[in-house]
């Protein structure tokens, strides 16, 4: 129908920057809360829906309520089509990307510095990618961190426009020279979008969240050029 109403509830995995008092050092609080939602969506046409969603989030430290509006776009075609293999469609399965951007600390000061990365991406299945990359987060006086990453990605693309997007999660084996060459695995969760320019080139944007256990969480925002083969 044109109008849909939904309710849902589940786990809310949060990362919060906190401090005990104004002059105290900032620390990163990670935890699990409860999120409950009510949504109403109205179908505009075969591709578009208007959505309004209300969320209630309950955690040990702070409870919040939010109201969001969105425009949802159906990425697929109107007609149901049989699955076509990448080989038969001659779609490149490999991608090599060079990135540059910025690292921002998850603190009240939001210290930032330049970031760089190189990434190899392999399409395993239609909606599943694997990436291996080298990430350099830069040196902002608090961290000087770099290392290899490995992630699995859930991906999708528009059938009517050369734009794809995805969500990835994996591990970041980082060395932090500001912590006496501290070496340990960190959690890396990411979102990314790619605009295909032609058969061999694409533009890509990336947002990483680095989750640590020593109060050095960061957001890494980068843009890059991709070579498809």
Of the options 2.30.30, 2.20.200, 2.60.40, 1.20.1070, the CATH number for the domain spanning 3-73: 2.20.200
Q: 3-73 and 92-228: same fold? A: no
Q: Looking at residue 77, what is its pLDDT?
A: 52
- What pTM does this model have? 0.88
What does the pLDDT look like over 88-108, one tens digit per residue? 457 789 999 999 999 999 988
Is residue 78 scored above 80 in pLDDT? no
Of the options 3.40.50.1970, 2.60.290.11, 1.10.260.30, 2.40.160.20, the CATH number for the domain spanning 92-228: 2.40.160.20
What does the pLDDT look like over 146-199, one tens digit per residue? 999 999 999 999 988 999 999 999 999 999 998 888 888 999 999 999 999 999
What does the pLDDT look like over 103-141, one tens digit per residue? 999 988 899 999 999 999 999 999 999 999 999 999 988
Domain boundaries, the chain: 3-73, 92-228
Q: Looking at residue 19, what is its pLDDT?
A: 83
DSSP string, the chain: --EEEEEEEEEEEEEEEE-SSTTSPPEEEEEEEEEEEEEEEEE-SSSEEEEEEEEEEE-SS--EEEEEEEEEE--S-SS------HHHHT---EEEEEEEEEEEESSSS--EEEEEEEEEEEEEETTEEEEEEEEEEEE-SS-EEEEEEEEEEEEEE-SSSSEEEEEEEEEEEEEEGGGSSEEEEEEEEEEEEEEE-SSSEEEEEEEEEEE-SSS--EEEEEEEEEEE-
């Amino acid at each position: 129908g044109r109008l849909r109403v939904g309710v849902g509830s589940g786990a809310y995995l949060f990362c919060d920057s906190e401090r005990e008092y104004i002059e105290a050092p900032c620390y990163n609080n990670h935890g699990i809360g409860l999120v409950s939602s009510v949504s109403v969506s109205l179908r505009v046409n075969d591709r578009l829906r208007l959505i309004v969603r209300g969320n209630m989030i309950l955690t040990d430290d702070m409870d919040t309520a939010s109201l969001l509006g969105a425009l949802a776009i159906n990425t697929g075609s109107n007609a149901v089509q049989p699955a076509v293999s990448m080989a038969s469609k001659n779609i490149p399965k490999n991608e090599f990307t060079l990135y540059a951007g910025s690292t921002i600390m998850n603190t009240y000061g939001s210290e930032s510095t330049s970031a760089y990365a190189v990434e190899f991406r392999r399409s395993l299945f239609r909606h599943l990618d694997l990436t291996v990359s080298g990430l350099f987060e830069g040196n902002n006086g608090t961290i000087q961190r770099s290392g290899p990453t490995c992630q699995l990605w859930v991906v999708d693309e528009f059938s009517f426009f050369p734009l794809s997007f995805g969500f990835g999660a994996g591990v970041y084996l980082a060395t932090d020279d500001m912590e006496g060459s501290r070496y340990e695995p960190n959690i890396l969760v990411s979102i990314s979008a790619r605009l295909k320019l032609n058969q061999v080139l694409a533009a890509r944007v990336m947002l990483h969240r680095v989750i640590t256990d020593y109060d050095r969480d960061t957001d890494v925002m980068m843009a890059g050029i991709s070579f498809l083969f």
